[in-house]
Amino acid sequence: MSFIAKKAGSISPSSTLAIDSKFKSMKAQGLDVVGFGAGEPDFDTPQHIKEAAIAAIMEGKTKYTPASGTLELKEAICRKLMRDNGLCYKPENIVVSNGAKHSLVNVFMAICDPGDEVIIPAPYWVSYPEMVKLADGVPVILTTTEENGFKFSIEDLEAAITPKTRAIVINSPSNPTGMIYTKEELAKIASVAVKNNIYVVSDEIYEHLAYGEKPVSIASLGDEIRDLTIIVNGVSKTYAMTGWRIGYTASKADIAKAMSNVQSHATSNPNTIAQVAAVCALDGPMETIDMMRAAFEERRNYMVERMNSIEGVSCLMPGGAFYVMMNIKKLFGREIAGCKIETSDDFANAFLEKAKVAVVPGSGFGAEGYVRWSYATSMENIKEGLDRLEKFLAE
């Protein structure tokens, strides 16, 4: 056995990516498998963005850029923050990274000293606790319930705060629940953050995928909270650009500087060609986003209605993102297709093995008793997956 450092040894793999790669390898073997694993838009990157990247290559924009991103992209991000969020930032507030995942790692590296606590409401996106651990911080999980729409109460938040609390993570719309905080709820969170002088890491990557009221950025609620907020966003979900790997942060300039310094040693600049493409995406037309949002909404409505009509499972109507958390608690203790179901992992394994449908167990999201379905896939797949669910549960 090789020596593995304690920190690396304590990190669990990303369950979303693990399910996705299992699904892809089953598919490559020719198996008739349907995937609801990774949250990745099934639409192609819009043509005008691809053309901008091809032009960048032909024009020789193929060299290193400043570690924290090009001035052109930082300016485009500032224009986006003003246009969509009414926020005025300067290029010195922006750091561009290799995806919002990388941005988040930089954030925790920049703000956590060893032992500093970061409050993470559960269900959470799988990577947050592991990222905090990588930065020698301590994830403090704030449990929420389905009855409360997967939202925590202000009393619970205040009770979780200790002298070691450095930050709270909010993700609205949420992966995996699709929950969206209202402006009033954000104002309350902001006042607690300001009172206790803690950072708010606001992951806004699904901001354009909301099917009712538009999500609000907590940073827009006043100067004090804006100074404490580190906005995380990227082009992966909005522009169907998951493989291009461009994410960014907006924060106070000194935090941006610290993140940029970390990044300058870890990865240098994000891909130069992808940065040119991201400028084109951010400054470009919004019609393709509207088209994707409308398709996601139709799929969400179908999935939720069907799921709630199937005996033994249920789900809430998510307000945004492209995930549904299916409650499977009633199935616990049952044997389905010869498999005993005691946990969300048991369900996900049996469902994949016997019905050839890939979903992500709730365990990785701090949500035992649930599995996550992504509806960023075709209506045909969604119908097939739910037909298979119905058949599987009838066994």
Closest contact distance (angstroms) between CB of 115 and ligand PMP is: 25
Closest contact distance (angstroms) between CB of 16 and ligand GLU is: 4
Q: Is 124 in the site for ligand PMP (CB under 6 A)?
A: no
Contact partner, 17, from ligand GLU, ligand PMP, none, Cβ < 5-8 Å per class:
ligand GLU
How many other β-carbons are positioned within 10 Å of the β-carbon of residue 216? 21
Q: Is 39 in the site for ligand GLU (CB under 6 A)?
A: yes
Binding range to ligand GLU, per CB under 6 A, among 37-45, 257-265, 291-299, 310-318: 37-45
Q: Report cis status (omega within 30 of 0) of the bond before 66.
A: no
Among 308, 282, 303, which Cα is nearest to 80's?
A: 282
Q: Give the span between the Cα atoms of 10 and 132, in whole angstroms.
A: 12
Q: Is 234 in the site for ligand PMP (CB under 6 A)?
A: yes
Q: Is 174 in the site for ligand GLU (CB under 6 A)?
A: no
Q: Is 275 in the site for ligand GLU (CB under 6 A)?
A: no
Closest contact distance (angstroms) between CB of 205 and ligand GLU is: 8
- Residue 179 or 193: the one with the smaller Cβ distance to ligand GLU is 179
Q: How remote is the C-alpha of 225 from its chain's centroid?
A: 22
Q: Give the span between the Cα atoms of 393 and 330, in whole angstroms.
A: 11
Q: Is 204 in the site for ligand PMP (CB under 6 A)?
A: no
Q: Is 16 in the site for ligand GLU (CB under 6 A)?
A: yes
Closest contact distance (angstroms) between CB of 242 and ligand PMP is: 5
Contact partner, 141, from ligand PMP, ligand GLU, none, Cβ < 5-8 Å per class:
none
- Residue 46 or 99: the one with the smaller Cβ distance to ligand PMP is 99
Q: Which of 175, 249, 327, 377 binds ligand GLU (CB under 6 A)?
A: 175
Binding range to ligand PMP, per CB under 6 A, among 59-67, 99-107, 191-199, 248-256: 99-107
Q: Which of 70, 175, 249, 275 binds ligand PMP (CB under 6 A)?
A: 175
- Residue 202 or 392: the one with the smaller Cβ distance to ligand PMP is 202
Q: Is 361 in the site for ligand GLU (CB under 6 A)?
A: no
In degrees to the nearest 10, what's the CA dihedral of 69, 72, 77, 80?
A: -170
Q: Which of 35, 36, 38, 274 binds ligand GLU (CB under 6 A)?
A: 38
- Residue 16 or 344: the one with the smaller Cβ distance to ligand GLU is 16
Closest contact distance (angstroms) between CB of 390 and ligand GLU is: 24
- Residue 151 or 354: the one with the smaller Cβ distance to ligand PMP is 151
Q: Is 242 in the site for ligand PMP (CB under 6 A)?
A: yes
- Residue 40 or 207: the one with the smaller Cβ distance to ligand GLU is 40
The footprint of ligand GLU (CB under 6 A) covers 14, 16-17, 38-40, 101, 125-127, 175
The footprint of ligand PMP (CB under 6 A) covers 39, 99-101, 125, 171, 175, 203, 205, 234, 236, 242, 247
